[in-house]
């Protein structure tokens, strides 16, 4: 029953993301090409191109690209509710604000003015915050975060992208691993990440918008139609 509910929820979530450029993949868009010539020519990296093809296929077929559930993905899905429950009292105590979990179609938020750009935060905190829950399949990743006492840099694009899309000011980043509790460690790590307006305005937003337009242009070139 638990697996069935998770599958139904994730199917709805994937359907809402079809053809939408989501914050969880902005790290792919921001990846630089390997060669100097490609960088100087303002080309996309192979990682970005691969993501672009996924979005192009979604626009053409209407079928979500990410239908496969890997073991790390299943682990995260199965422990997300538990992590959220454990995070509630910590968030309310540390940040002094209540937290709500977006459900159904409210779980995916679109940018108010930029078409087909969106994000799905794990929670909404007060009137200015968001929640990001990570449940690493590999416990090394959780311990690395705990030892650094900071959010891993690899999540910067997703977190700052979500703040851009929602207009909010900060994120409560949480890493959760129940397996460390047996050793007497707190399974939940929480860090506050503030909005970086310069990074968003000068680097992230312009690149994501240009990437979206590139994929839309490819769609129109192939089909002879505008995507929307």
Each residue's pLDDT tens digit, 126-179: 999 999 999 999 999 999 999 999 999 999 999 999 999 999 999 999 999 999
Residue 72 reports pLDDT greater than 60: yes
Residue 11 reports pLDDT greater than 80: no
- Inter-CA distances, 188 with 10, 23, 136, 178, 221, Å: 24, 23, 12, 8, 48
Strand pairing of 117-119 and 21-22?
parallel
74-82 mean pLDDT: 89
What is the pLDDT at residue 10?
65
Question: ∠ CA(25), CA(29), CA(31), 5° rounding?
Answer: 110
Tally of CA atoms within 13 A in the half-sphere of 202 that contains its CB: 4
**pLDDT band at 1, cuts 50/70/90?**
very low
Residue keyed to tokens 């994937």? 14
Q: Give me the domains of the chain, ranges plus CATH numbers.
A: 2-223 (3.90.320.10)
% of the chain at pLDDT higher than 90: 82
Of the chain, the end-to-end C-alpha distance in Å amounts to 38
**pLDDT band at 7, cuts 50/70/90?**
very low
| Residue 20 burial (CB count, 10 A) | 19
Each residue's pLDDT tens digit, 211-226: 999 999 999 999 999 9
Residue 118 reports pLDDT greater than 50: yes
What is the pLDDT at residue 69?
65
Mean pLDDT of the chain: 92
The DSSP annotation for 50-104 comes to HHHHHHHHHHHH---S-----HHHHHHHHHHHHHHHHHHHHHHHHH-S-EE---G
More confident residue, 74 or 8: 74
């Amino acid at each position: 029953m638990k697996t069935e509910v998770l599958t139904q929820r994730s199917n709805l979530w994937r359907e809402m993301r079809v053809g939408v450029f989501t914050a969880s993949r902005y790290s792919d868009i921001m990846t630089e090409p390997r060669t100097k010539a490609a960088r100087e020519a303002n080309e996309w990296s192979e990682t970005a191109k691969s993501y672009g093809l996924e979005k192009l296929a979604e626009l053409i077929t209407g079928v979500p690209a990410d239908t496969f559930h890997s073991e790390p993905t299943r682990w995260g899905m199965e422990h997300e509710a538990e992590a959220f429950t454990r995070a509630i009292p910590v968030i309310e105590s540390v940040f002094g604000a209540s937290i709500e979990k977006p459900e159904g179609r409210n779980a995916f938020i679109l940018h108010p003015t930029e078409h087909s750009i969106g994000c799905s935060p794990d929670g909404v905190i007060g009137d200015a915050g968001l929640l990001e829950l990570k449940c690493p399949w590999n416990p090394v990743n959780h311990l690395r975060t705990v030892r650094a006492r900071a959010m891993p840099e690899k999540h910067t694009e997703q977190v700052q992208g979500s703040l851009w899309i929602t207009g909010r000011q900060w994120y409560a980043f949480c890493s959760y691993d129940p397996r460390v509790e047996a050793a007497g460690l707190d399974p939940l790590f929480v860090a506050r990440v503030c909005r970086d307006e310069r990074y968003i305005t000068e680097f992230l937003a312009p690149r994501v918008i240009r990437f979206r337009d590139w994929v839309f242009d490819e769609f129109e070139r192939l089909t002879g139609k505008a995507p929307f």
